[in-house]
Amino acid sequence: MKTINPQRILLLVGCAVFFSVPVNSQLLKKLGKRAERAAERTIERRVDKETSEKTDEVLDSILEPGKKGQKTPQTPNPPNTPNPSGGNQDQSNSGNDSDVNSGPKTIQVYSKFDFVPGDKQLFFDDFGNEFIGDFPSKWNTNGGGEVVTLSDVPGKWYAVTNRSLTIPNLSNGLPEDYTIEFDVKAVGITNKTSSGARLGIYLAETPNLTTNESYAYSALNFCQYIAIGVQVDNRFKGNPSPISNRLSRDLRQVYQDVVHVSIAVNKNRYRLWINESKITDLPQFIYQPELIKYLKFKVDGMDLETKNERVLISNLKISEGGVDLRRKLISEGKISTNGILFDSGSANLKPESMGIIRQIYQVLQQDSSINLKIVGHTDADGSDEANLSLSKSRADAVKSALVNVYNVDDARLSTEGKGELEPVADNSSSEGKAQNRRVEFIKQ
C-alpha cells in the first residue's frame, strides 16, 4: 500500500500559499496546522478505503467466483448511439460524492439490507415476450413508449415517453401490504440534463391516466449539475398534515448506472430503497391506505430529440407482503420465496437478495436446534439436466452466503436442486417463470 508523507503535503501547501498571496508568518503557522490535520484525515480515509476494498474482494469471491480482476462495466450506450470513445456522447458528471453505492454491488454492503419482498406475486414484467419497438402489452399510457434493448445491459427495457403517464395493468388493485421492485436506467444524462428530469412514482386511487386524485408520490431526479435528491409528497382529502419534502441525497453518480428501486408499503407506512440504501421511512405517508390501489409512473424533463435522454424501466415486480418469513418458517417449518435472485442462467447471487437471507440467518441464530434444507427451483428454459445442475448450484450459493457472510455452521445446512420438476405456475409466461424460479427453506 502506498504511503502519504504529511511533511511533503505541508511543504506543497506552504509553497502554494507563499507564492500566491502575501501573508504574514502567523497566518502561515495557522495554515500549516490546518494542512497537517488535513493530511492526517487524508491518510485515514486512504487506509479505510483500501481496507474496505480488500474486504469487498474477499466477500465478492464467495458469491461471484472468477470475477476477481474484472473491470467495472462501462455505462451502457443509449439505443442506436455511438460508443462514448468516439466522442459523440457526453458522459461528463459532476456527482462524485454519492452516498448510495454505485457500480458493482457487494455482499458486504447488502448484508444489512433490510428490504424483504412480498411472498405472493401480483404482477411481473421483464418485457421478455414483447417485440422491440412495440408498446408493452401489459401497460397503458397517455403518451407512448416502446420496448428497447441496450448494448451493454442484458434484457429488454420499456422506454417511457417524456411528459407521459404510464400504468401497469393490475387486475385487482393493490392490497394494504405490498412491495414494488423495478430497475431503472436514465440514458444519456449529462451535466446539461435539466433539473426537472425525473421519474415520478405514484401510488394512486384509480387506473385512470390522471394524477388528479389522492396519491402518495416520490420522484427520482436525474439532474447532474446539482444534487437534488428524492422528493416525497402525499395528497389525501382531509389530511391535516400533508407531507412535502425533498430528501437531500447526492445520487448523481448512482444514476449513471442501472438502479434497483425497492418500495415496501405496510398500511400507512412507506419505505423506499435505492440499491442497498434506505432513502426514506415514513410511518404515516399513506394517509388513507384503503384508497390506494394502483401504481403509476410519470416521466418529465427528459430531452430525447436533442440530448438523446430517456428513462427505461424493467423487471417490475409487485408482490403482496405482510408475512414475516421468520415467523412463517418457525411456525410452518417451510417457506418458499422468489425474492432470492440470481444472474440469468447462473448461480451468481444478486446482492439485493440479502434481505431474505438475513431473515433466515436470524431464525438460525435464535434457535440453534434448527437445521435447514435449501432447495433450488428453476423455470423450464433450457434442458432438464442443465436446470437440475443450476438449481443445485443456486441452493449451494445461498448456503455459502449463510456460512461465509453470517457465520452459520455449515453442518446445519443441506442443499438440493429440483430444476424445473416442480413448477408452481405456467412456464409459458414471464410471470409464471418468475414464480417458478424460487428457493425453499425446509426445517429438518
pLDDT, tens only, 82-100: 333 333 333 333 333 444 5
On the question of pLDDT at 52 being above 60, the answer is no
Task: With respect to residue 140, please indicate whether it lies within any of the assigned structural domains.
Answer: yes
Task: Compute the distance between CA of residue 352 and CA of residue 349 in angstroms, rounded to an integer.
Answer: 9
Task: With respect to residue 431, please indicate whether it lies within any of the assigned structural domains.
Answer: yes
What does the pLDDT read at residue 312? 98
Least confident of 3-17, 63-77, 203-217, 407-421: 63-77
Task: Provide Rg for the chain, Cα atoms.
Answer: 24
Task: Compute the distance between CA of residue 417 and CA of residue 37 in angstroms, rounded to an integer.
Answer: 57
3-state SS, one letter per residue, for 77-98? CCCCCCCHHHCCCCCCCCCCCC
Task: With respect to residue 89, please indicate whether it lies within any of the assigned structural domains.
Answer: no
Mean pLDDT within 380-391: 94
On the question of pLDDT at 15 being above 80, the answer is no
DSSP secondary structure letter of residue 288: S
Mean pLDDT within 42-60: 47
Task: Specify whether 115 is located in the same domain as 250.
Answer: yes
Q: Which cell is 314 given?
A: 424493467
What does the pLDDT read at residue 355? 82
Residues 281/268, Cβ–Cβ less than 8 Å = no
Q: Which cell is 72 given?
A: 467495472
On the question of pLDDT at 26 being above 60, the answer is no
Task: Specify whether 188 is located in the same domain as 292.
Answer: yes
Q: What is the total count of domains within the chain?
A: 3
pLDDT top residue among 18 and 380: 380
Taking CA atoms, 374 is separated from 354, 390, 393, in Å, by 15, 14, 11
Residues 325/337, Cβ–Cβ less than 8 Å = yes
Task: With respect to residue 100, please indicate whether it lies within any of the assigned structural domains.
Answer: no
Task: With respect to residue 351, please indicate whether it lies within any of the assigned structural domains.
Answer: yes
Task: Specify whether 370 is located in the same domain as 289.
Answer: no
Report which of 303, 195, 319, 314 is spatially closest to residue 258, judged by C-alpha positions.
Answer: 314
Q: Which amino acid is at 60?
A: D
Task: Specify whether 309 is located in the same domain as 424.
Answer: no
As beta bridge partners, residue 310 has 187
pLDDT top residue among 129 and 26: 129
Q: How many CB atoms lie within 10 A of CB 314?
A: 22
Residues sharing a CB contact under 8 Å with residue 399, sequence separation 6 or more, in sequence order:
374, 410, 413, 415
- pLDDT tens string 257-278: 999 999 999 999 999 999 888 8
> Which residue segment(s) compose the domain that 57 sits in?
6-63
Please, what is the average pLDDT of the chain?
81
Task: With respect to residue 97, please indicate whether it lies within any of the assigned structural domains.
Answer: no
Taking CA atoms, 238 is separated from 202, 211, 408, in Å, by 19, 17, 51
On the question of pLDDT at 161 being above 90, the answer is yes
Q: Which cell is 370 given?
A: 434448527
What does the pLDDT read at residue 100? 55
Task: Specify whether 314 is located in the same domain as 425.
Answer: no
pTM here?
0.65
Task: Compute the distance between CA of residue 333 and CA of residue 328 in angstroms, rounded to an integer.
Answer: 7
What does the pLDDT read at residue 341? 87
Task: Specify whether 51 is located in the same domain as 16.
Answer: yes
Backbone region of residue 306 per phi and psi (left: phi > 0; alpha: psi in -120 to 50; beta: other values): alpha
What does the pLDDT read at residue 51? 43
On the question of pLDDT at 417 being above 90, the answer is yes
Strands (E), 109-152: 120-125, 139-141, 145-149
DSSP secondary structure letter of residue 223: -
Q: Which domain-ending residue is among 320, 352, 387?
A: 320
Provide the pLDDT confidence category of residue 40 given band limits of 50, 70 and 90. low
Residue listed under C-alpha cell 415476450? 129
Taking CA atoms, 155 is separated from 116, 128, 146, 187, in Å, by 24, 7, 14, 15
Phi/psi at 358 (5° precision): -65, -40
Least confident of 59-63, 132-136, 237-241, 310-314: 59-63
Task: Specify whether 136 is located in the same domain as 203.
Answer: yes
Give percent of the chain above pLDDT 70.
74
As beta bridge partners, residue 312 has 159, 185
Task: Compute the distance between CA of residue 373 and CA of residue 440 in angstroms, rounded to an integer.
Answer: 8
Task: Specify whether 311 is located in the same domain as 348.
Answer: no
Sign for the pseudo-dihedral over CA of 401, 403, 405, 408: positive
The gap from C-alpha 89 to its chain's centroid, in whole angstroms, comes to 25
Q: Which domain-ending residue is among 269, 286, 320?
A: 320
Provide the pLDDT confidence category of residue 354 given band limits of 50, 70 and 90. confident
Q: Measure the CA dihedral 183/187/191/192, to 10°.
A: -130
What does the pLDDT read at residue 359? 87
Give percent of the chain above pLDDT 90.
61
As beta bridge partners, residue 320 has 120, 178
Least confident of 300-304, 345-349, 394-398: 345-349
Residues sharing a CB contact under 8 Å with residue 58, sequence separation 6 or more, in sequence order:
none
Mean pLDDT within 130-159: 96
Residues sharing a CB contact under 8 Å with residue 266, sequence separation 6 or more, in sequence order:
176, 177, 321, 322
Report which of 189, 176, 180, 173 is spatially closest to residue 312, judged by C-alpha positions.
Answer: 189
On the question of pLDDT at 36 being above 80, the answer is no
Task: Compute the distance between CA of residue 261 and CA of residue 312 in angstroms, rounded to an integer.
Answer: 13
